[in-house]
Amino acid sequence: MCGIFAYQGGKTDVANLILSGLKSLEYRGYDSWGILVKKNNNAFYLKRQVGKIKKEKLPPIFSTEGFGHTRWATHGGVLEKNTHPHFDCQKQIFVVHNGIIENFNQLKQELIKKGHIFTSETDTEVLPHLVEELRKKTNDRLKIIKEIIKKIQGLNAVIFYFLNDSEFYAFKNSSPIVVGKNHDGIFLASDASALASYTNKVYFLDDGEILVIKEKNLSLFDKNGKPKKINFINLNYKVEDTLLGGYKHFMIKEINEQPKVLKTIVDTQEQNLKKAANLIKNSYGSYFIGCGSAYYASLTGTYFFSKIAKRHINAAVASEFSYLVDFLKETSLVIPLSQSGETIDVISSIKKAKEKKAKILALTNVLGSTLYRLADEKLLLLAGPEKCVLSTKSFTAKLGFLYLLAHILNGTFKKGQENLKKAKSIFLF
């Protein structure tokens, strides 16, 4: 749940821009944070600190590019030396990283034998040293990044920054990275909601893709280094949706937004729901899967379908779905639920289901997310950005969709609509 935010463009107080971006990711939780920006003459400003950002204000350094990170400690304690960004021996290659490098200790020992000096206890620090070592053989950075993707094990999102040449290289495996752009710059973040204040024109990286940012230009390559076109999408986020707007915290804000979410579903989703219901009706062997609150919504959905639609659908925790994959056929339908559309266990389950040729009907809240892209059909929850870690309005949205789907299958959609309209009053307290 670490946070990443990066920028290259025309703005000149990038340190505080990145600080603001990191603050928009605070809902993910963290125990330390760090920022690096490039100054004139290839000098740099690096600040790493334990604790919360609070009302921190950084000095107005002239800079047009840099990146930052909020960290939850995994490898190594909550210490300044373990805070990102990390760097190579020469302090020319910097990196921020979400995830875990499972084989880092082996890689670290190999690098130490070759003379590399480590200053932290983290798995992340092997990354800049790996680049430094590989550059002894070639200066083809795309080739170097491809080699690193092959070398490291685990689920990761990584951004490298080459200081002297002002280049960013980003790639991911299951952990999200999203790029956005507007008239004066390019942004990278670990969550699309962090970009809402700057742009709604975004692209979600696929696993194995490599994104390069240089001189305010974007290039995208597949895992083999072949150029790809970047197809941006427009998110329907509004800036005010990501702000507290007078509430003391996001949980109470999102609780109060639940009636609006239900109204949106009832008023606008009839055709999408009927299309999804037809897919369920024509399937043979259906499964709800989710993690945490999404699994509880799945379990509730089985009751809705049993009592209202007289139809049996299995519910499974996504992390245990591998035990059911062998039952899937081409006529099967898997219905994954995920607010973010990036839940790793859900994504892993969907990939296995697709190998069995099963159809995927996704319920997710994020347009363009990994789950959204993998699914054959999708229902957007339309709950707006959910920043409270405890699920509120997205859980209610999932129940609303499942309830109406059950009523469509029973031929009582109008009754379902009326019941949900009445249910809105429950939240008006």
- What pLDDT, on the 0 to 100 scale, is given for residue 235? 84
User: Both 67 and 210 in a single domain?
Assistant: yes
Lowest model confidence (mean pLDDT) among 90-94, 208-212, 251-255, 406-410: 251-255
Mean pLDDT of 250-255: 92
Confidence of residue 75 (pLDDT cuts 50, 70, 90): very high
User: Both 95 and 187 in a single domain?
Assistant: yes
Confidence of residue 174 (pLDDT cuts 50, 70, 90): confident
Dihedral pair phi/psi, residue 130, rounded to 5°: -60, -45
268 within some domain: yes
Q: Write down which residue in 202, 218, 241 finishes a domain.
A: 241
Task: Report how far apart the first and last C-alpha atoms of the chain are (Å, whole number).
Answer: 32
**Average pLDDT in the chain:** 94
429 within some domain: no
Confidence of residue 429 (pLDDT cuts 50, 70, 90): very low
- What pLDDT, on the 0 to 100 scale, is given for residue 424? 67
User: Both 58 and 146 in a single domain?
Assistant: yes
* Residue 156 to residues 111, 149, 175, 228, 372, Cα–Cα distance (Å): 20, 10, 5, 21, 20
Count of the separate structural domains present in the chain: 2
Q: Write down which residue in 241, 275, 308 finishes a domain.
A: 241
Mean pLDDT of 33-62: 93
C-alpha 108/C-alpha 105 separation (Å) is 5
366 within some domain: yes
DSSP tag of 376: S
- What pLDDT, on the 0 to 100 scale, is given for residue 286? 96
pTM over 0.85, yes/no: yes
- What pLDDT, on the 0 to 100 scale, is given for residue 230? 95
217 within some domain: yes
User: Both 219 and 327 in a single domain?
Assistant: no
- What pLDDT, on the 0 to 100 scale, is given for residue 260? 92
- What pLDDT, on the 0 to 100 scale, is given for residue 120? 97
User: Both 8 and 75 in a single domain?
Assistant: yes
User: Are the beta carbons of 327 and 283 closer than 8 angstroms?
Assistant: no
User: Both 288 and 147 in a single domain?
Assistant: no
User: Both 124 and 224 in a single domain?
Assistant: yes
Chain segment 118-134, per-residue pLDDT in tens: 999 999 999 999 999 99
293 within some domain: yes
428 within some domain: no
Chain segment 347-373, per-residue pLDDT in tens: 999 999 999 999 999 999 999 999 999
Q: Write down which residue in 241, 271, 299 finishes a domain.
A: 241
User: Both 235 and 354 in a single domain?
Assistant: no
Element (H, E) at 338: strand 333-338
260 within some domain: yes
User: Both 123 and 220 in a single domain?
Assistant: yes
User: Both 196 and 275 in a single domain?
Assistant: no
Tell me: pLDDT of 428 over 70. no
The angle formed by the CA atoms of residues 259, 378 and 272, to the nearest 5 degrees, is 65
- What pLDDT, on the 0 to 100 scale, is given for residue 26? 87
Confidence of residue 426 (pLDDT cuts 50, 70, 90): low
The set of residues, in sequence order, having a beta carbon less than 8 Å from that of 282 and lying 6+ positions away, is none
- What pLDDT, on the 0 to 100 scale, is given for residue 2? 85
Handedness of CA 242, 11, 23, 169 (dihedral sign): positive
User: Both 24 and 118 in a single domain?
Assistant: yes
Mean pLDDT of 174-194: 93
Lowest model confidence (mean pLDDT) among 120-124, 308-312, 418-422: 418-422
Domain that holds residue 216: 3-241
